[in-house]
Structure formats: C-alpha cells, structure tokens
Amino acid sequence: MRSRAISTIKNAVERIGLIRGLDEKQLLSLLVRDLSELSNFAIVDNRNYRLIKSVTPGSYVFVLQAMKEVPRRLSHPSRKTIGLRVPNHAITLALLEALGQPLLGSALILPSDTLNNAEEIRQWLEKQIDLVIDAGACAMEPSTVIDLTGDEPVLVRPGRGSLEPHVALPPKAPENPAR
C-alpha cells in the first residue's frame, strides 16, 4: 500500500510540474482540513502555531520544517521544508473531509491571466487534468506564502492573505547609497 501511495504522490507532483512548468525544487503545498493535521507533516513550535492559528483558515501557505515521515517528493529537496495551507473555501474543505487526507496544491498560474471560468479552464487544460470542479469565480490573486523556518517570518510571495497585524516581517535591507 505504501508503494502505491508514493507512486501516486510522484505522479501528482510530476503532473502539476508539467502543467505549471515547475522544476523539481519548486515547493508545492499540502492542503489540510484544520490545524490539528499540521503536526502530521511539519514541525511547528508554539510561536508559529499561534501565528498560523491567528490567520487560518485562509489564503496563506506556511513553509515549515517537514517531518521525517513526509515523502521526499513533497518536501523541498535541500531544505526539507513543506508548504501547508488550511483553506477557507467550502468546496475544498468538503473534498478534504470526504477524502480524509490532504490534497496536493499549487496556485494555478496560466499564460492567460483572464481564466477564471471553469469551462475555459477545462478547455485550456482538458488533456492534462482529470476534472474541473465549478465552484464559481475565484479570486485571481494567489495565496500569501510565509516562510516560518527561520527565527522570524519571511514573506516569500505576497497574495490575498493580509500581513497586518499578524506577521511582523523583517525590515527590508537598506540600499547602499552611491558614493
């Protein structure tokens, strides 16, 4: 059973990589039902848990140190990190509940930034994906990605998730003035 699961993960990672044009070092994320599932996949200290709890469910992906049990194909190969998200979308949550396990996720960034209709997405990707679920129009902006692997949170990618007042990001390094 374990070899079938690993094969399925490998195939899913490869398919998402082909659709998005990603290399093997690109971090994908796991979507989980709630905070109780985080500790199955990542090491979360109290400070980071409180931060995550304050903004989830929502439009955030948190980069955390992966547990040793996380399949290699899901964690960043050199940093051993994993992206985790607790979504707030009713259909995604229903899928997670019905499956009883996480979903592998990635922002859908296509060459045409105007695709926000299920039928158009299906036509664009119909030979590459198994199905499209029409949940109505979704926000076009991807999730905010915050790296929690260091001493302080680091903004990896701004997105729909607000940073204030929950995340105190390190100040931008001062630029060297020309002398």
CATH code, domain carrying 74: 3.90.870.10
Task: Give the tens place of pLDDT for each residue, 92-136.
Answer: 899 899 988 888 777 666 666 556 777 877 777 777 777 777 887
Is residue 83 within 8 A of residue 11, CB to CB? The reply is: no
The answer to whether position 87 is within a domain reads: yes
The answer to whether position 46 is within a domain reads: yes
The answer to whether position 124 is within a domain reads: no
The answer to whether position 129 is within a domain reads: no
Distance, CA of 16 to CA of 29 (rounded, Å): 11
- What residue ranges in the chain does DSSP mark as E strands? 29-31, 42-43, 60-66, 81-85, 103-105, 144-147, 154-157
- How is residue 47 written in tokens? 């400070």
Query: What is the pLDDT, as a whole number, of residue 66?
Result: 85
Is residue 63 within 8 A of residue 27, CB to CB? The reply is: yes
Q: What's the domain count of the chain? A: 1
The answer to whether position 116 is within a domain reads: no
The answer to whether position 177 is within a domain reads: no
List the domain range (segments joined by +) for residue 89: 2-107+142-157
Is residue 148 within 8 A of residue 62, CB to CB? The reply is: yes
The answer to whether position 54 is within a domain reads: yes
pTM of the model as a whole? 0.75
